[in-house]
Chain A
C-alpha cells in the first residue's frame, strides 16, 4: 500500500504543469463551494444567535416581523404582568420596544440602505446580556441620544461615536457604541422608546421581549397570551423568530450557489478526467510492467484512483485554505423579512470543512474512475508491446 501511494504521488509530481492546472481547477470549485456555504451559514448564524433561548418575543398576530407589528400600550401591560415573566428586583424583565426603519447612507459608496432604529428601555440590556457598551456612554434617559451597534457605527454616515444622525425631524447624538458579538443588534441604532415614539408620531410598540422564568414552560405562556381576549398577539421563542428570518436569504444563496457549483464542478471533473486519461495512456508500459510483476488488476485500479483522489484532496485543501481567509470579511445584505440592512461574516463550520474536503475527494474519484478502469482492463502483453 505504501508503495502504491508513493508511486501515485511521484507520478503527480513528474507532470507538474498538468497536475497544477487540475488541482487549481478543482481548488477553484471547492473555493466557491465553501464560500457559498460560508455565506449562507454566516447569515444564518448571525440571525439564529441573535435570539436567546431564555427569551420570548410578542408581536401582533399575523404581523410576521417587528417592523410591521403594532401593539397598544395597554396590551404591553397585560403581557408584562404574565406570571411566567422573570422578575428582577420585583420588576418584570421585559422590554417594550418600537422598531422603525430609517433610510441611512452608507459611508463606502453613498448608497441608501434601511437601518433599524429600536426605541427601547434599560431592561433591554438585562434581556440581552451579550450586548456590551464598548465605547462612549449610555444615553441619558429622555433625550435624543442614541447608541449605535458596532456595524452601523462603522458602515453608516453620521452613526459613529460623537457624530449626529438626522431622522424624523431631529438630530440624534450618537453617544455610545455597543457590540453584541456579531448578532443582528450590531446593525441597529438604539434610543429611548418614548423619544422614538414621539419623533415618529407613533404612540405604539412594535414588540415586547420578555425573559421567561422557566423557558420550558413557553407553550403555557404562549397559550395564555394568545387566548387572552384583550390581546391579538402571537408569542414566539426569540430564537425561532430570528431563525425564520434567515430562511429566505439562506435558501436563495444555497440554491443558486449549489446549482452553479455542481455545474462547474462537473467542468472540473472533466478536467481531472483529461489529466488522468493522459496519465494512464502515457504509462501503459509501466502498467504492463506492474501487471507482469504480479500486481493485480484491482491494484492497478487502486493506484490510479489514489492518484486522482490525491489530486482531488489537494484541490479541496487548496480551495478550503483560500476560502478560510474569507472569514475576515464582513459583508452586509438586506434582511428581506424586515427590509433592513444586516451585517454578517463569512463563517466556517466543521460541517463546511468536511463538506469541502469531501467534495474535492468526490471530484477526484469521479474524474479518475473511468481512466483507472481503462488502466486496469489493459492486457499485459498489449500494453508492454506499446513500447
Chain B
C-alpha cells in the first residue's frame, strides 16, 4: 500500500469523525475569515488613500470648520498642485439608523482632478454637479442599499446645518479599486453656502477640510509642515497630514473594538486547534499498536511523523477549503447587514491566505501530541495493548 493511500485510509477510517472534524474546522475557519474581513473593512479607507493627497483640518478638532480664505494661501505654497475642499454634512435620511456619509464637495473638478478613482455614470452628472446646487452623486453601494435611481429626490434633515434639505440624484459612482468607498453621498458645497448666506451669514464662507494635491509624495511631510506653518498663531490653525494618516486616525478611534476583534480571531484558531487536536489524540490512542507495527517494520520517526501530520493536515486542510469556499457568500450576506458601518466591504486575498495558513498550522500543531505519543511508547508496550 502506498504511503498516500495509507494516509487517506487513515484519515477516513472513521468517516463520521472525519466529516465532523472537517465541518468543525470549516465553520471555525469561516468565522475567522469573516472577522478578518471585518477588520480589513476598517482599513479600507487607509488602503484607498492616495500618496499624493494631503488632508488639512482645523487643529482644534475635525468638528471645527476652516475659512475659505485659506484656499488661495495654500495654493501659493511650493509643491502644491491644487486645493479643493470637503465638508461633512451629517444629515438624517428618514431615520438616524439609516446613517451614511454625506460630503459637500467644491466642484466637478474635486472628483476629476483629486479623486480620479471615482467613476461617475453618467458622465454628464458632473456637469450638473457644477451648475445645480441640488445635484447629488451617490455611491453604487449606497444606491443599492436604498434602491435609489438617477432622478430620485432625496430628502435630508440637517443636524449640523439645520432645516430640511432635498437633493436630486444625477449620477451614481463606482470605484476603480475594490477599497474605494462607494457608500458616500456627494453634493455641491454651494447648496450649503447659499443657504447659510441667507439664514446664518456668520457661518458662511467655511469648509470642513482642505484636500491638497501635491507634486511629489516624497515631499508630503515638508509640504504638510509648510501648510501648518502658514496658519500658525492665526485663529484657524491647521493640522495637515497625508490622506492615509488622516484615515488612520479614524481607524484608531475604534482601536479597542478592532483589537478585540483581532484577539477573538486568534481565539477562534484556538478552537480549531482543539477540535483537530481532539480528533488526532483519539486517533493516536486507537492506533498505538499500529504505530508499534510500523516501527517494527523499520519505519523511521520521519515517516511516522509524515503519516500522522499528513492525516491531520489533510483533515484541517479540507476544513480550510470548506470554510473559505463558504466565506465568499457569507461575506456578501453579512456585508449587506453591516452596510451602515462599512461603505466598502472587500474580500481581501490576504484574508484567504491567512485562513489557509491557519488551517495548515493547525494541522501541524494537532499532529505534535500524537506523534510524541507514538514515538515515546516502546514497541513492546505498544504491541501489548489491545483495544
Contacts and interface: CB of A to CB of B under 8 A. Distances in A.
A169 B59 CA distance: 10
A277 B35 CA distance: 31
Interface string A262-279: 011011111101110110
A232 B157 CA distance: 14
B73 interface: no
Interface string A17-47: 1100110110011011001100100000000
A62 B158 contact: yes
A111 B251 CA distance: 10
B272 interface: yes
A274 B338 contact: no
A275 B274 CA distance: 11
B337 A267 contact: no
Interface stretch (A63-71, A217-225, A351-359): A63-71
Contacts of A275: 278
A179 interface: no
A28 B27 contact: no
Q: Specify which of A112, A167, A277 lies most central, judged by the most chain B CB atoms within 10 Å of its CB.
A: A112
Interface stretch (B208-216, B219-227, B261-269): B261-269
Contacts of B252: 111-113
Nearest to A333: B256
Interface string A41-60: 00000000000000000001
Contact of B61 (A103, A244, A267): A103
Interface residues of A, number: 64
A114 B61 contact: yes
A28 B253 contact: no
B298 interface: no
Interface string A251-270: 01101110110011011111
A270 B27 contact: yes
B69 interface: no
A333 B257 contact: yes
A64 B157 CA distance: 11
A18 B256 CA distance: 35
Contact of B341 (A31, A100, A252, A266): A252
A64 B255 CA distance: 25
Contacts of B278: 18, 21-22, 25, 271, 274-275
Given A17-B281, A264-B28, A24 B256 contact: no
A168 B60 contact: yes
Contact of A267 (B25, B38, B163, B281): B25
Contacts of B177: none
A21 B17 contact: no
A63 B159 contact: yes
A381 interface: no
A140 interface: no
A336 to B, nearest CB: 8
Contacts of A167: 60
B275 interface: yes
Interface in A108-165: 111-114
B82 to A, nearest CB: 26
Interface of A: 17-18, 21-22, 24-25, 28-29, 31-32, 35-36, 39, 60-65, 67-68, 100-103, 111-114, 167-169, 200-201, 232, 244, 247-248, 252-253, 255-257, 259-260, 263-264, 266-271, 273-275, 277-278, 331-334, 339, 341
18 contacts: A21-B277, A24-B274, A25-B274, A62-B159, A63-B159, A64-B96, A68-B63, A68-B90, A102-B60, A103-B239, A200-B64, A252-B338, A263-B30, A264-B268, A267-B24, A270-B21, A274-B282, A332-B256
Given A103-B61, A201-B235, A274-B24, 16 more contacts: A18-B278, A25-B275, A31-B267, A32-B264, A100-B63, A103-B62, A103-B239, A111-B249, A255-B338, A257-B264, A260-B35, A263-B34, A267-B268, A270-B21, A277-B16, A278-B282
Task: List the 4 closest A-B pairs by CB distance, nearest first.
Answer: A270-B24, A267-B28, A334-B253, A263-B31
